[in-house]
Chains A and B, each alone.
Chain A
Amino acid sequence: MSNATLESGAAMAEGTARRGVEQLSMQQALNRALDEVLAANPKALVFGEDCGRLGGVFRITDGLQAKHGTGRVFDTPLAESGILGMSVGLAMAGFHPIPEVQFDGFAYPAVNQIVCQIARMNYRSRGTMPMPITLRVPSFGGIRAPEHHGESLEALFAHVPGLKVVSPSNPHEAYHLLKYAATRPDPVIFMEPKSRYWQKGEVDFDSPDPAGSPTGGSPTGAKVMRAGRHLTLVAWGAMVARCLQVAELAAEDGIDIEVLDLRWLKPIDEATLAASVRKTRRAVVVHEAPLTSGLGAEVAQLITQACFDTLKAPVERITGFDVPYPSGDLEDEYIPNIDRILFGIQRVLEYKRG
């Protein structure tokens, strides 16, 4: 890598050169991760609609075809069932497919392949046919796009046994979570928050998580993005950045909020979730997906189960509405905004028993 810096000291002693920190957009961080995965694993393949020559509509695969060849990074027809069906065959043949479904709403035509084949082939074959498939899905709303371009499918996929689901919240998480996901032996649905593609952030290439974190340095489980004492905001994807803004505003009012980035939506890191809420004794879950049967319900139940005796109020959910995702002009009304989240926090803060 061009940014690799050869530093003396501990890193060199362990035989690995430190690569340092860079300011990257999530686009660039994901591109870097895919580039490294392709370089490290000759069985890794990247493909999807416009992923090859164009480099993806969000530029995530930009330059990868030129570098790794048309045999490993290529365009597919506009047929998601074919993209995922082909992934099944490639995985059976020993490849590690990293397909892209161009937008969340385009995953629906591939649900049969994802649910009936990819999720259960390993189970069905008694472990003789693993499905190491990393499905990238530009997800959630916020870019004023037309229908089928702003949906939140995490609960749908989290409900399917055999699938893992993960969503990064910033460039650093995107780099490390994608590199991790794309080296797993299991199928992972990788939900990229498309409204956060362009914001830059610091990517520490050497360390996914802070030293001494409970995950032992691997990007598994949930992550406390901001420590606080009075209430835990639980979020993932694009809502993490919004919750961090809310926490700053709440601090002006003397309320000290902890922001937990769930990261892995299946499986959910119950231990980290419970540890946070046992400390703060109040929780609000925020997601873009509709309320009913959304992942917030699962999170609220896990919190209630683990923290029932110490909770000061029922867990609040601040979510999208039970309607099809609206057109761009209305999405600010749909996606949880700062005031709606603050209202939810206020309801929890003023809750009285009995």
Chain B
Amino acid sequence: MAEISFPLPDLGEGLIEATVLEWLVSPGDQVERNQPLVEVETTKSAVELPSPQAGKVVRIHGGPGDKINVGEPLIVFEVPDNTAGIVGTVPKEEAPKRRVRLSAVLDED
């Protein structure tokens, strides 16, 4: 297994830090991509941060009321070795589905 760290992203408009309001996940949780991770407050507004990827939460940084600077670690995920670092999503192997049927009279010449 490999660990991937997700730093606090730039939340826009030149903000350099955010205050953690509430964590919506805990270490040990398996999260999906786009699942809300944490609610943080900036000087502009309170926002929920969606997860950039799927994985198991290993560590979270900062409790409610703590300030985190943009670019500092926010959360660390654990992912299988063979998916660490990839851009995109590992395709699911699905049973082939069809709607089209073939019909032909074949002359076996």
Q: Is A81 close to B, CB under 8 A?
A: no
Query: Interface residues of B toward A: which range?
Result: 20 to 34
Give Cα A200 to B101, complex, Å: 30
Q: A145-B87, A195-B91, A338-B96 are in contact. Are A59 and B81 (CB under 8 A)?
A: yes
Interface centre among B81, B89, B103, B106 (most CB of A within 10 A): B106
Give Cα A145 to B81, complex, Å: 19
- Which chain A residue has the least Cβ–Cβ distance from B109? A281
Interface residues of A in 230-257 (CB under 8 A from B): 230, 245-246, 248-250, 253-255
Give the Cβ gap from A156 to chain B, nearest Cβ, in Å: 22
B84: A residues at CB distance < 8 A: 54, 59
Give Cα A194 to B83, complex, Å: 12
Q: Is B1 close to A, CB under 8 A?
A: no
B102, A250: Cβ atoms under 8 Å? yes
Q: A25-B82, A230-B106 are in contact. Are A145 and B97 (CB under 8 A)?
A: no
Give Cα A342 to B101, complex, Å: 7
A338, B81: Cβ atoms under 8 Å? no
A338, B97: Cβ atoms under 8 Å? yes
- Which chain B residue has the least Cβ–Cβ distance from A244? B96
Q: Is B12 close to A, CB under 8 A?
A: no
B98, A255: Cβ atoms under 8 Å? no
Interface residues of A in 15-63 (CB under 8 A from B): 25, 27, 50, 54-59, 62
A57, B100: Cβ atoms under 8 Å? no
A245, B87: Cβ atoms under 8 Å? no
- Which chain B residue has the least Cβ–Cβ distance from A340? B100
By DSSP majority rule, is chain B's interface helix, strand, loop, or mixed? loop
- Which of A103, A230, A342 interacts with B100 by CB under 8 Å? A342
By DSSP majority rule, is chain A's interface helix, strand, loop, or mixed? loop
- Which of A50, A54, A328 interacts with B88 by CB under 8 Å? A328
- Which of A50, A194, A195, A349 interacts with B104 by CB under 8 Å? A349
B100, A198: Cβ atoms under 8 Å? no
A59, B88: Cβ atoms under 8 Å? no
B88, A144: Cβ atoms under 8 Å? yes
Q: Is B14 close to A, CB under 8 A?
A: no
- Which chain B residue has the least Cβ–Cβ distance from A195? B91
Give the Cβ gap from A256 to chain B, nearest Cβ, in Å: 9
B87, A103: Cβ atoms under 8 Å? yes
Give the Cβ gap from A353 to chain B, nearest Cβ, in Å: 13
Give the Cβ gap from A74 to chain B, nearest Cβ, in Å: 17
A248, B96: Cβ atoms under 8 Å? yes
A27, B82: Cβ atoms under 8 Å? yes
A149, B106: Cβ atoms under 8 Å? no
Give the Cβ gap from B63 to chain A, nearest Cβ, in Å: 31
Q: Mark B76-99, 1 if CB is under 8 A from A, else 0.
A: 000001111111111101001111
- Which of B89, B97, B101 interacts with A253 by CB under 8 Å? B101
Q: Which residues of B contact A (CB under 8 A)?
A: 81-91, 93, 96-104, 106
27 sampled A-B residue pairs with Cβ under 8 A: A55-B85, A58-B85, A58-B86, A59-B81, A59-B85, A62-B81, A143-B86, A143-B89, A144-B88, A145-B89, A146-B88, A149-B88, A246-B96, A249-B98, A250-B102, A253-B101, A255-B102, A338-B96, A338-B97, A338-B98, A338-B100, A342-B98, A342-B100, A342-B101, A342-B102, A346-B100, A346-B103
